[in-house]
Structure formats: structure tokens, C-alpha cells
């Protein structure tokens, strides 16, 4: 059971205090936390939480929306890597990244006609990697058709050390391009 700050009840908590506690709840969560769970926790509607998140982001706090809920952003440490592999290796590639404690925030390609094409994705754990691979598989579209498997990812992590470990893992598997 969540309690409000001293001197407040959940029913008379002001908007600013609630937003501060939302940020703390997201930072302290073991994984993504949904708007519905936050709404129940703070005794407000899901729509209020979605609006609060928009305001929190507008004030500069990095919060990422995933298909499983909200997670804190890690924009301070990121790297863009160039990788190449077959579509059958996508899950293995994603696991090499998330197993080191990092998150994939986008995928992009350099197309000879269209130029750079970037798609935002948020993959921070094996379940999200599995769902992504399944969705790509069901669509029938693969990067191999467009780029012979060459593509780029922006990877975020809590530290530069984790980013180095990710790059080593990708290199060890033969996915990282020089």
C-alpha cells in the first residue's frame, strides 16, 4: 500500500506532489509500470496519469512508454552501433543487449533510395525482445530484404561500462560491424 507524503492523504494530494511521486514510483519499480497501476496507486483515473506523464516529460524528465508500461529513461549513456545478422539471429542479438542491462531504443537503416529510416522501439528485456521478433516475423518483412541484414541501433544503459559490455557481446557473436 502506498502512502502519500507526510501531511497528505491520497485524496487531497496536490498535482505537483503526485507527479513527483509518480516519477519516484517509476524509478523504483523493478520493471515497467502501467498507467492503470499508477492510477490505482494514486487513486486517480488512468487518463490523469497519462496527462501527468506528458507534463513530467515536458518538464524534462526522461520517461519512456513501452507496451508494458512506463520506465525511466537513461539518455545520459547511449551509443549507436552498426550490426549485421540474419533475421533468425534477431532474438539472440536483442538478448545480447538486454542481458547486459541495456535497452534498444531504435532501429534504423541506410536505404539507397530513401536514405536513413529510423523506427523507435523499446526493448529492455527478453519478453519485449520476444514480442518484437514475433511481430517482425508475422509481418513478413525483414531487414535482409532491404539491407542484407545491416542496420543500426541506439542503445541506452545506466553506465558507459554497460555499453562497452554490450558492444563486446555483439562483437563476440559476430554481429557488430566495424
Domain C-terminal end among 49, 72, 95:
72
Task: Give one DSSP letter per residue of 45-92, joined into a string.
Answer: -HHHHHHHHHHHHHTT--EEEETTEEEE--TTSEEEEEEE--GGGHHH
Query: Domain residues for 40?
Result: 15-72
Helix (H, G, I), strand (E, B) or coil at 140: coil
Mean pLDDT, rounded, of the chain: 86
Task: Give the whole-angstrom CA distance, residue 142 versus residue 133.
Answer: 10
Per-residue model confidence as pLDDT tens digits over 1-49:
444 445 444 455 689 999 999 999 998 887 789 999 999 999 999 999 9
Please say if the pLDDT value at position 171 is more than 50: yes
Residue where a domain terminates, one of 39, 56, 72? 72
Q: What is the pTM of this model?
A: 0.60
Question: What domain count does the chain have?
Answer: 2
* Percent of the chain predicted with pLDDT > 90: 52
CATH code assigned at 88: 3.30.1340.20
HSE at residue 5, side-chain half, CA atoms within 13 A, is 13
pLDDT digits (tens, 9 = 90+) for 99-123: 998 999 999 998 888 889 988 898 9
Asked if residue 89 is part of any domain, the answer here is yes
Amino acid at each position: 500500500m502506498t502512502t502519500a507524503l507526510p501531511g497528505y492523504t491520497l485524496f487531497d494530494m496536490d498535482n505537483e506532489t503526485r507527479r513527483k511521486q509518480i516519477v519516484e514510483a517509476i524509478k523504483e519499480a523493478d520493471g515497467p509500470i502501467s498507467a492503470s497501476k499508477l492510477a490505482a496507486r494514486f487513486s486517480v483515473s488512468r487518463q490523469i496519469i497519462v496527462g501527468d506523464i506528458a507534463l513530467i516529460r515536458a518538464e524534462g524528465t526522461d520517461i519512456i512508454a513501452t507496451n508494458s508500461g512506463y520506465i525511466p529513461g537513461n539518455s545520459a549513456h547511449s551509443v549507436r552501433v552498426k550490426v549485421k545478422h540474419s533475421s533468425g539471429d534477431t532474438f539472440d542479438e536483442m538478448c545480447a543487449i538486454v542481458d547486459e542491462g541495456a535497452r534498444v531504443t531504435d532501429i534504423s537503416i541506410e536505404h539507397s533510395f530513401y536514405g536513413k529510416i529510423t523506427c523507435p522501439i523499446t526493448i529492455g528485456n527478453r519478453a519485449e525482445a520476444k514480442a518484437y521478433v514475433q511481430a517482425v516475423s508475422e509481418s513478413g518483412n525483414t531487414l535482409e530484404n532491404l539491407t542484407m541484414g545491416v542496420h543500426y541501433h541506439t542503445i541506452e544503459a545506466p553506465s558507459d561500462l554497460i555499453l562497452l559490455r554490450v558492444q563486446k557481446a555483439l562483437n563476440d557473436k559476430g554481429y557488430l560491424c566495424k
